[in-house]
């Protein structure tokens, strides 16, 4: 198992290339809404806490959070997804414009509700979450538009990220066409997967499941590092991937690549407040650095460091380049 070291100078060298890097993101776009407050009593109507809301905020979620993480690193980003003709969709577009994300390929489906997740937070603790969503497959004409735009714009793109949350945007038929066309172009195609869709990802560059998602592929329960290694190599080979990255929370990450090569990167977070959006940060950072020409192993080490910073915050967040750079010597 490899244990490489990465210097601050090398990380900085990669970072200087990111502003000239363009990454496309295709996937399920969401709006994350937060109601922040304090609990001061139990409801007389039911045995539940009453949260006195003192502040509200809205953040980009899902594929839009991936795009936000890319922009935080300085990459040029084009986001492709679907929203409804509603206030949540308008808010997403406003936040994307604020972050200078190209949203010209963010399509509006008037028959669809924008995916929205509402969280109530009291004393930094999530009390409840309410989801508003439609998970039906997107219309055929939307698939055709995404496919046409991606294939015609591939030469102007350094990496493509697929953010599959299972909300209907990613479908097997046109994803297969995209992967087939992308393979052989010498550019990375990264996928943040959804349980049950793994067979759709055959031939991709790198797929980034967490441990639970990885075990779901063959319905296995893994209890040892050796068993996890065999599972990782099996997934990589069965799906004909260039690499597989299993994120393991407090146990770090395992990368499977090349001819049965494995890299374990220990977790760096000492304080974990919220893992919401950590996967978005991982794949966003990977896409930015791989798109900028960084080595795969180096990109994984940097993404692991960024994830350690992201989980220190409550809710979805982005990680700045100076914060990442400060972690290296």
Contact, 98 vs 67, CB < 8 A? Answer: no
Contact, 245 vs 252, CB < 8 A? Answer: no
Residue 280: active-site member: yes
Q: Is 57 exposed, middle or buried (0-12, 13-18, 19+ CB in 10 A)?
A: exposed
Write the CB contacts of 98 (distance below 8 Å, at least 6 apart in sequence). none
E-assigned strands of 85-153? 102-109, 115-122, 125-132
**Catalytic residue chosen out of the listed positions 99, 225, 280, 322:** 280
Of the candidates 241, 246, 144, which has an alpha carbon nearest to the alpha carbon of residue 183?
Answer: 241
DSSP string, 255-281: EEETTTEEEEE----S--S--TTHHHH
User: Would residue 218 be called left, alpha or beta, if left means φ above 0 and alpha means ψ between -120 and 50 degrees?
Assistant: alpha
- CA neighbours closer than 13 Å in the CB half-sphere of residue 280: 30
Q: What is the CA radius of gyration of the chain?
A: 20
Of the candidates 106, 20, 26, which has an alpha carbon nearest to the alpha carbon of residue 66?
Answer: 26
Q: Specify the DSSP class assigned to residue 219.
A: T
Interatomic CA distance for residues 49 and 60, integer angstroms: 27
Contact, 192 vs 66, CB < 8 A? Answer: yes
Of the candidates 109, 105, 69, 52, which has an alpha carbon nearest to the alpha carbon of residue 85?
Answer: 109
Distances (CA, A) of 223 to 56, 69, 204, 244: 41, 33, 27, 19
Interatomic CA distance for residues 251 and 167, integer angstroms: 29
Residues assigned a catalytic role:
280
């Amino acid at each position: 198992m490899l244990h490489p070291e990465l210097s601050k100078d090398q990380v900085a060298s990669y970072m200087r290339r990111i502003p000239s890097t363009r990454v496309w993101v295709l996937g399920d776009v969401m709006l994350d809404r937060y109601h922040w407050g304090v609990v001061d009593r139990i409801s007389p109507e039911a045995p539940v806490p009453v949260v006195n809301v003192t502040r509200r905020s809205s953040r980009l979620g899902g594929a839009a959070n991936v795009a936000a993480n890319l922009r935080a690193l300085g990459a040029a980003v084009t986001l492709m997804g679907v929203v409804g003709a509603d206030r949540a969709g308008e808010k997403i577009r406003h936040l994307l414009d604020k972050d200078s994300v190209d949203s010209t390929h963010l399509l509006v489906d008037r028959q669809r509700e924008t995916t929205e997740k509402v969280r109530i937070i009291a004393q930094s603790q999530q009390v409840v979450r309410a989801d508003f969503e439609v998970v039906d497959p997107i219309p055929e004409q939307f698939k055709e538009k995404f496919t046409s735009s991606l294939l015609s714009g591939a030469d102007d793109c350094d990496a493509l990220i697929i953010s599959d949350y299972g909300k209907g945007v990613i479908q097997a038929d046109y994803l297969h066409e995209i992967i087939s066309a992308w393979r052989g172009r010498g550019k990375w195609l990264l996928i943040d997967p959804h349980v049950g869709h793994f067979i759709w990802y055959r031939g991709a560059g790198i797929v980034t499941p967490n441990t639970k998602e990885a075990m779901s592929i063959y319905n296995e329960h893994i209890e040892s590092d050796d068993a996890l290694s065999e599972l990782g190599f099996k997934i990589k080979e069965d799906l004909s991937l260039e690499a597989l990255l299993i994120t393991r929370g407090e146990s770090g990450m395992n990368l499977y690549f090349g001819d049965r090569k494995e890299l374990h990167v220990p977790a760096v977070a000492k304080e974990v407040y919220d893992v919401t959006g950590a996967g978005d940060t991982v794949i966003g950072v990977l896409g930015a650095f791989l798109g900028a020409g960084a080595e795969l192993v180096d990109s994984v080490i940097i993404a692991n460091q960024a994830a350690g910073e992201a989980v220190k915050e409550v809710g979805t967040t982005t990680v700045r380049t100076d914060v990442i750079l400060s972690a290296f010597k």
